[in-house]
Structure 1
Amino acid sequence: MFSARPCNFCTEAQGTFMDISARRQQPCDLPRVFVASNVKLVMEGLHLQLGRCDKIALLGRGRLNARTAARINENAADVVVLDVGSAGSGKFARTLCGTSRAVPMVGVAIGSTRHDIADWAELGVKGFVDDSGSIEDVVDAIERVARGEFSSSPQTTAQLVTRLIERVERRLSPEGARQLTPRETQILFNLERGATNKEIARRLGISPATVKNHVHRVLEKLEVRRRQEAGAIARSGRI
């Protein structure tokens, strides 16, 4: 008589989800993570693979809708792993960005998205994993974002910085744009986002002392005394 038996994959998956449930019951300081996608295969695959990792606490998974956004906030997720290549991901990110907690996101499949990478950054995506990334890259991005850091490959970072600099330059008047050198424009872009000298130095690959000199010149050219004032001017385009 035929006897149905679960395949090894299903047995392993069942054990994984049981482990996840047990892990949730234990107090820990691990990043609390939620997976969101409209593609079932992607959503379940990420959930299964991340469930095998002991560096995070997996809260659950869901489609890109208001109900999932509510669950993310109710469960106090620290990071959302968002399939940015999925239809509706931009609208979902805007929904999360507009909530009271504004949970940071790690965007996966970044190469498949139709949106500009700078748009994702402004919507709260703090980590990027492109199509060639591994599950280890996703976990690393989760940990970094949970610590309040930015995470992406050097290529993606360069692309993002270029896009954001272009946006800043478009907001500057021709006279203001001529006042600042390309490096000073990079500094202004970082001041606009509240970055410290150490953070700017790390992003641009220069020393904090050099950043301090650039900041001084930017403030001098803009005729302001505080870096917050320079950032406000960049946001308003009043240069």
Structure 2
Amino acid sequence: MVDDHPLYREGLVSVIATMAGSEVVGEAADGAEAVRLAHELQPDVVIMDLNLPVGSGVEATRQLIRVSEHSAVLVLTMLEGDDSIFAALRAGARGYLLKGADRSEIERSITAAARGEVVFSPAIAERVLSFFAGGSQPDARPFSALTAREHEVLDLVARGLTNAEVARRLFVSDKTVRNHVSNVFAKLQVTGRAEAVARARDAGLGGV
């Protein structure tokens, strides 16, 4: 169980305790702890929130699968944007549920994930199917609201470059880069650089 809200974790632990043949072997409140426990405990299923205080749930999923290859990561989150969904799937998640899911849906999903099945909330499944039915590719560029130049700037920022370094790399002025960065923040609805970098890295930008 990976979630930074103790009361929510406690509720899910109670749900799983009533499921025949299932038990919670570990709980984590952040991504780093999740990876460490997965390596130590080798769980069959990991229920993963995406909003975590230390390391995002997407990056934790990516690392966790490397240290516990047989573990099925089942995302359970409030985030329902396409960027979050497809970033989690690219990282290796086997399922994606929203926190509005009821008890029976969560129980069915855990059981299915343990059997190696892919699981989605109904609304998520519809969007995933529509995505592929439309002929898009899984690696389609994230953050479609960004222009090509804004996307390029975000990628470089996610790689750790300062505005001045981005300007030199793209052969533009510092002011131009600042304008692009401001536009990126507005379109991603983030309040600062750290949040933008986290969103970008979750979506696979920045060379991670």
TM-score normalised by structure 1 residue count: 0.49
Q: Is the counterpart of residue 36 in structure 1 residue 2 in structure 2?
A: yes
Q: Aligned partner of 1:89: which letter?
A: G
1:102 CA drift (Å): 5.5
Query: Deviation string for 1:187-220 (max 9, x for gaps)?
Result: xxxxxxxxxxxxxxxxxxxxxxxxxxxxxxxxxx
CA distance in 2, matches of 1:54, 1:126: 22
1:125 equivalent in structure 2: 93
Q: Structure 1 pair 168/113, CA: closer, same or farther in 2 (3 Å)?
A: closer
Query: Deviation string for 1:100-144 (max 9, x for gaps)?
Result: 525221111254568431111121221222232112211111111
Kept after mapping to 2: 8 A contact 1:84/1:90: yes
1:97 equivalent in structure 2: 65
Larger Rg: 1
1:82 CA drift (Å): 1.0
| RMSD after superposition | 2.7
CA distance in 1, matches of 2:78, 2:47: 12
CA distance in 1, matches of 2:37, 2:140: 39
Identify which range, 48-57 or 35-44, moves more after superposition.
48-57
1:78 CA drift (Å): 0.4
Identify which range, 82-91 or 137-146, moves more after superposition.
82-91
Q: Structure 1 pair 77/159, CA: closer, same or farther in 2 (3 Å)?
A: same
Q: What SS does the corresponding residue of 1:60 show, helix, strand or coil?
A: coil
Q: Within 5 A, what are the aligned runs for 1:200-215?
A: none
Structure 1 residue runs of 5 or longer lacking an equivalent are 1-34, 172-239
CA distance in 2, matches of 1:120, 1:158: 16
**Identity fraction in percent:** 18
CA distance in 2, matches of 1:63, 1:113: 23
Kept after mapping to 2: 8 A contact 1:110/1:130: yes
1:149 equivalent in structure 2: 117
Q: Structure 1 pair 62/121, CA: closer, same or farther in 2 (3 Å)?
A: same
Identify the match of residue 106 of structure 1 among 74, 89, 99: 74
Q: What SS does the corresponding residue of 1:50 show, helix, strand or coil?
A: helix
Kept after mapping to 1: 8 A contact 2:31/2:52: no
CA distance in 2, matches of 1:112, 1:41: 22
Kept after mapping to 1: 8 A contact 2:85/2:96: no
1:83 equivalent in structure 2: 49
CA distance in 1, matches of 2:98, 2:140: 27
1:31 equivalent in structure 2: none
1:138 equivalent in structure 2: 106
2:35 equivalent in structure 1: 69
1:61 CA drift (Å): 1.1
CA distance in 2, matches of 1:62, 1:41: 13
Structure 2 residue runs of 5 or longer lacking an equivalent are 142-208
2:19 equivalent in structure 1: 53
CA distance in 1, matches of 2:48, 2:139: 30
Query: Deviation string for 1:138-183 (max 9, x for gaps)?
Result: 1111111111111123321121233454235959xxxxxxxxxxxx
1:234 equivalent in structure 2: none
Kept after mapping to 2: 8 A contact 1:50/1:135: no
Q: Aligned partner of 2:74: which letter?
A: V
CA distance in 2, matches of 1:84, 1:67: 14
Q: Aligned partner of 1:139: which letter?
A: E
Q: Structure 1 pair 67/129, CA: closer, same or farther in 2 (3 Å)?
A: closer
1:85 CA drift (Å): 4.1
Q: Within 5 A, what are the aligned runs for 1:190-205?
A: none
Q: Structure 1 pair 105/113, CA: closer, same or farther in 2 (3 Å)?
A: farther
Q: What SS does the corresponding residue of 1:92 show, helix, strand or coil?
A: helix
Q: Aligned partner of 2:117: which letter?
A: E
Kept after mapping to 2: 8 A contact 1:36/1:63: yes
